[in-house]
Amino acid sequence: MTQRTQIRIESIVQGVGFRPFVYREAAACGLTGWVLNDSQGVLIEAEGPPEQLADFLDRLQQRLPPLATITSLQQQEVSPKGDQDFTIRHSQEQSDSSAQIAPDTYVCDDCLQELFDPGDARYRYPFINCTNCGPRYSIVTGIPYDRPKTTMAVFPMCPNCQAEYDDPTSRRFHAQPNACPRCGPQLQLLNADGTPHISDTPMETAISLLQQGGILAIKGLGGYHLAVDAGNDAALAELRRRKARDEKPFALMSRNLEQVRQYAKTSPEEERLLSSTERPIVLLEQQDQHGISPLVAPRNRYFGVMLPYTPLHYLLLEQHFTALVMTSGNLTDEPIAYQNDDACERLKGIADFYLSHNREIFTRTDDSIVRVMAGQPMLLRRSRGYVPRSIALPAAQDNILALGAELKNTFCMTRQDRAFMSHHVGDLKNLDVYRSFEQGIMHLQEILSWQPHCIAHDLHPDYFSSLYALEQEVLPTVAVQHHHAHLVSCMAEHGETEPCLGMIFDGIGYGVDGHIWGGEFLLGDSQKCERLGHFAYLPMPGGDAATRQPWRMAISLLTQVYGDELPGLPLLAAIPSQDLKLLRQMIDKGINSPLTSSCG
C-alpha cells in the first residue's frame, strides 16, 4: 500500500542545509515526492509504504542538521501522485511568511579542515563556508533566503561552485554564500587613508603589521573590529589614546581554549559557551598571572573573551598571538562601522591599516556578550550569532512592535507565540544609531513578512524610541513603564505567566509618578503591576549631569543622612567650595533636582 503525506515544518530551516537533509533521508527511506522552501518554512510531500513514511518522520526529527531547530511540524495525508523520484524544488515566493533566517554562524569543523588542507581548492580561503556555517542574517537583503537576496548576489559562481550548489549530496547544496578563490570575495589590505596597500599576501602582511604593534581595522561578520596584539603595551596605549576609551575593557580573541586558559579561568559551562556555534564574548575571571597587557582591562577582574568565528580569524590567529584585542570598530558611543567607505571615514585616525574585503555586510551586528552566573548563562548583549532566532513566549500574542528604551536599544516583534528580538542597536541619541534603528525595523519586518498591529513604547515621553512610536499615527500605541517591562521580559524568558514579585535594580526609567525609578519592588504580570516598594527617593542634582558626575549623588546622599552638617570627608575637600554650595542649594530648593530611586 502506498500513502502520501504532506509535511509542513516551521523553524529556522532556511539556509541551514535542511532540504538536502530531507532529500537524503527520503532517499534512505526509499520514498518519492519533493521538498521546497517557501516563506512559511519548508513543505514536503513524501510518498511510499506507511512504515517507511513513519521511519522518515522519525528521522526528520531525530537527525536534524546542526543549525536547524524545528518549532512546529504538521502533517496531513494527501492522495498519492506516483512521482518517479524525490526532488528538491526551487523556492516559492509567498506572502504571510513565518520562515526564519538563520543567525550568522561560526565556521564549521568540516570547513576548517578544508581551510588548512593544502590539497583543497579553498586552502587558506578566508570566505570558505557551507550549508552548516557562515554568514546568514548579516548578508540577507530580503526573502526568500536565496543567493539573489543576499550581498553575495554580485559574485557569479564558477562552474565548480555552481556544481556543488546544485548537487543535493554536496555539503554546499544551496549554500547561498558559497564561494571559492576563483569566484568569490577577496581580501584587501588598505592604508590608513583608504588607498590599497600593495601586497600579494594581504593576510601575511596584516599579521606582520600586528606583530610590529600596528592597529588594524579588520572586517568581520557583522562589522569592523579594531585589532592589536594583546601582549603589546605600547600598541594598547596608543589604541586607547586614539579611541578615546580610557578604561572600558577590550574584548580578546584567541585561537583555542588552551590559549584562553593561559590567561583566564574557565568552567565547563564557560568553555561550552566559548565553543558554541554562536561564539559570543564570554566574561571570564583573569588568571593571577597572565601575559596579557594590563591595558586590556584596567582595574577589572574579568576579560571578555571569544574564540574565532570566521575563517579569516582562524588564519589571523593560526600561528601567532596568545590573544588579539578585537574591540568593536567605533569611537566610544558610536555604532560599529560595517561598510567599507564608512569604516575608512569613521576609523580615520584610529586604524593604521584596514584588512577589508568586498563581501558587503547588510545588517550591522555587534558581538554578543554572555556571563555565567550561578552556573547559568546570562546574555548581557544578544546580537551576532543569536539574532534573528526567536524566543518562545508562554502564550500567543498579537503582532506587537515593541521599541525598547533609548540606551542600548533593541526592539522586538511578536508573532503568535514567538518574540523576534533585534540585534543590539545602541544609543538612539546618536543620529547614525537612530537611522539604523529605523532601517532595522523595516528590514526585520521585511524578512519576517510581518506587519505590526500595535506599537509598545517606553513611558518616557522624550525617548527617541517613544517619539518614533508616536509618529506612526495609524497604529494604536501603548506606553509601558520601564521596570514593568523589565519584570515581564524576565518572566517571559523563564516561561512564567502567574503574577511575580520582581526586584529590579536598574539605572533609570521614567516612573508613573513622574519621578525617576530604578530600585523597584513590583508585583505583577503582563497586564498590570503594583509598586510594593522602592528605594528611598533622593534628589538628583543637575539631572543627567549626576549620571556623568557621580559625586553629585554622593553629596545628595550625604545631605540626606547628615543634613546641613556634612562630615569632613576627603571627597568634600576635592570639590571647589563654590560648586558644593551651589549643589546643596539645588538640593535644598529642589532646583533641577528630579527625585530618583535608581540603583545607579
In the complex, least distance from residue 136 CB atom to Zn ion, rounded to whole angstroms: 12
Q: Is 480 exposed, middle or buried (0-12, 13-18, 19+ CB in 10 A)?
A: middle
Nearer of residues 156 and 461 to Zn ion, judged by Cβ: 156
Give me the least distance between CB of 555 and Zn ion, in Å please: 58
- Phi, psi at 480, each rounded to 5°: -120, 130
Q: How far is the CB of 175 from Zn ion (least distance, A)?
A: 8
Of the pair 150, 232, the CB lying nearest Zn ion is at 150
Cα separation, 513 vs 572, in Å, equals 33
Q: Which helix (H) or strand (E) holds 571?
A: helix 570-573
Task: Indicate the residue among 205 and 276 with the shorter CB distance to Zn ion.
Answer: 276
Q: What is d(CA 356, CA 503) in angstroms, rounded to the nearest whole number?
A: 46
Angle, helices 551-562 vs 577-589, to 10°: value is 60
Min dist CB 326 to Zn ion, Å, is 21
Which residue is it, cell 521585511? 446
* Residue 109 C-beta: closest distance to Zn ion, Å: 8
Which of residues 127 and 517 has its CB atom nearest to Zn ion in the complex?
A: 127
- How many degrees, rounded to 5, is the angle at CA 508 between CA 507 and CA 510? 160
3-state SS class at 435:
helix
Tell how strand 86-88 and strand 32-38 pair up. Answer: parallel
Give the interface with Zn ion as residue ranges (CB under 5 A): 108, 111, 130, 132-133, 158, 161, 180, 182-183
Cell of 169: 549530496
Q: How far is the CB of 15 from Zn ion (least distance, A)?
A: 12
Cell 583543497 belongs to which residue?
120
Strands 400-402 and 454-458: parallel
Residue placing its CB nearer to Zn ion in the complex, 133 or 274: 133
Measure the CA–CA gap between 541 and 389, rounded to whole angstroms. Answer: 43
CB of 154 to Zn ion, least distance (A): 14
Q: How far is the CB of 271 from Zn ion (least distance, A)?
A: 22
Task: Sort residue 433 into left (φ over 0), alpha (ψ -120 to 50) or beta.
Answer: alpha
Q: Which is nearer to Zn ion, 111 or 369 (CB)?
A: 111
Contact 537, 597 (CB under 8 A): yes
Order across the sheet with 454-458: list the strands. Answer: 391-397, 412-421, 400-402, 454-458, 477-480
**For residues 183 and 558, which CB has a smaller minimum distance to Zn ion in the complex?**
183
Quote the least distance from Cβ 364 to Zn ion, whole Å: 23
Place of cell 530600585: 519
Angle of CA points 597, 376, 492, to nearest 5°: 60
Going through 53-107 in order, the beta strands assigned E by DSSP cover 69-78, 86-88
CA angle, corner 267, sides to 264 and 271, nearest 5? 80
User: For residues 173 and 510, which CB has a smaller minimum distance to Zn ion in the complex?
Assistant: 173
Nearer to Zn ion, 23 or 106 (CB): 106
As measured in angstroms, the least distance from the Cβ of 159 to Zn ion is: 8
Q: Pick the closer one to Zn ion by CB: 11 or 105.
A: 105
Beta strand ranges found along 340-445 (DSSP E): 353-357, 369-373, 376-381, 391-397, 400-402, 412-421
CB of 69 to Zn ion, least distance (A): 18
How far is it, in rounded angstroms, from Cα 17 to Cα 172? 8
Backbone angles phi, psi at 307, to 5 degrees: -90, 160
Nearer CB in complex with Zn ion: 134/594? 134
